[in-house]
Amino acid sequence: MKNREKKLTKKDVAKASWRWMFFHHSAQNYERMTGTGFGHSLSGALEVLYEDDKKGLSEALKRNLTFFNTEPQLGAIIPGITLALEETYANNPEDFDPEIIASTKNALMGPIAGLGDSLLIGTINPIFLSIGIGLATNGSPVGPLVFLALWLGLVVPMKYYLFVKGYDLGMDAVKILMNEEIKTKLTTALTMIGLIVIGGVASTTIQAPIAAQFSSGELVISLQEILDKIMPNLFPLIVALVSYYLAAKRGWSTNKLLLAILAFAAVMVTLGIM
């Protein structure tokens, strides 16, 4: 891969990476998922590789319009790798099997989706959301703006870097990403971090104060104070665990769960318990 004839310039690769950044979910559908966006991302670079070969360009576009679905941030490395393989095939069609391109995409979709969902969606995104929610107290617009700034400040340069890095490494990137030991350790670590973060977010954002009090003469005992001495945020933890049980074990939809919580809160407030 290191000795392959270069046909694409840094500008060509950069254009392809920006196309991926803006169009990876364009025209998403159940037949090909993000395959259309994948093909569009590489189309400009493929036109450079096959500028005098319309048949070769047509076949290359068809190869890259097939079903594709992964986490798009970390997944930016896959179209980068694919572009490197397409360049290799364009330069050495007799010595390179184009089926390697499709099989590489298919092999990387699942592992990258798992890593991306664990790291970004399950870990980093909740952290940024908790910061934004904390700053959005009393309806302040600062919260969502800070969240957007943090998220875009992370994913935009990351997607660009991973796309270009995937192109530079080519098949060498596949060997790294498919290393089972590295993948297992990283996935386990990210899962643990994600659970810790979700627990922290739940304890700080779920509000379920107990308003019930016991009074005898001048003596007033707050049930909330008793619960806080037993375990701080005990009732929010119970709400979170019950919600998880209903969604994960009983198959409740998000809308059904939200309506149930709303009804439960209304009953508790009416009875003066909360």
pLDDT in tens, the chain (274 residues): 444 465 889 999 999 999 999 999 988 888 888 999 999 999 999 999 988 889 989 999 999 999 999 999 999 999 999 998 898 888 888 878 888 888 888 888 888 888 888 788 878 888 888 888 888 877 888 889 999 999 999 999 999 999 999 998 876 665 565 556 665 665 566 567 656 666 666 666 777 777 777 777 777 777 777 777 777 777 888 888 888 888 888 888 888 888 988 898 888 888 887 7
The amino acid occupying position 170 is: G
Q: Are residues 25 and 65 in the same domain?
A: yes
| Nearby residues of 168 by Cβ (< 8 Å), 6 or more positions away | 80, 84
Same domain membership, residue 135 and residue 82: yes
Q: Are 181 and 188 in contact (CB under 8 A)?
A: no
Residue 6: the pLDDT is 59
| 31 within 8 A of 18, measured Cβ to Cβ | no
For residues 39 and 167, membership in a common domain is answered with yes
Q: Is residue 102 part of a domain?
A: yes
What does the chain come to in residues? Answer: 274
Shared domain for 30 and 129, answered yes or no, is: yes
* 166: CB partners within 8 A, 6+ apart: 76, 77, 78, 79, 80, 81, 82, 83, 84, 173
Give the number of C-alpha atoms closer than 13 A to the C-alpha of residue 77, restricted to the C-beta side. 24
Per-residue confidence (pLDDT) for residue 109, from 0 to 100: 85
Task: Identify whether residues 190 and 214 lie together within a single domain.
Answer: no
pTM here is 0.66
For residue 258, what pLDDT is reported?
A: 87
Q: Is residue 204 situated within a structural domain?
A: no
233 and 156 in one domain?
A: no
Say if 2 falls within a structural domain.
Answer: no
86: CB partners within 8 A, 6+ apart: 42, 45, 46, 49, 60, 63, 64, 101
Domain assignment of residue 262, yes or no = yes
Q: How many CB atoms lie within 10 A of CB 174?
A: 19
Six token digits for residue 265: 């809160």
Q: What pLDDT score does 150 carry?
A: 93
Please indicate, yes or no, if residue 1 is contained in any of the structural domains: no
17 and 129 part of one domain: yes
Same domain, 232 and 117: no
How many domains are there within the chain?
A: 2
Domain range spanning residue 77? 10-197
* 34 and 116 together in one domain: yes
Q: Tell whether 130 and 71 lie within a shared domain.
A: yes
Residues 158 and 256 in one domain: no
Q: Does residue 202 lie in a domain region?
A: no
Look at residues 163, 197, 231 and tell me which one is the last residue of a structural domain.
Answer: 197
Residue 228: CB atoms within 10 Å: 14
Domain boundary among 197, 225, 259: 197
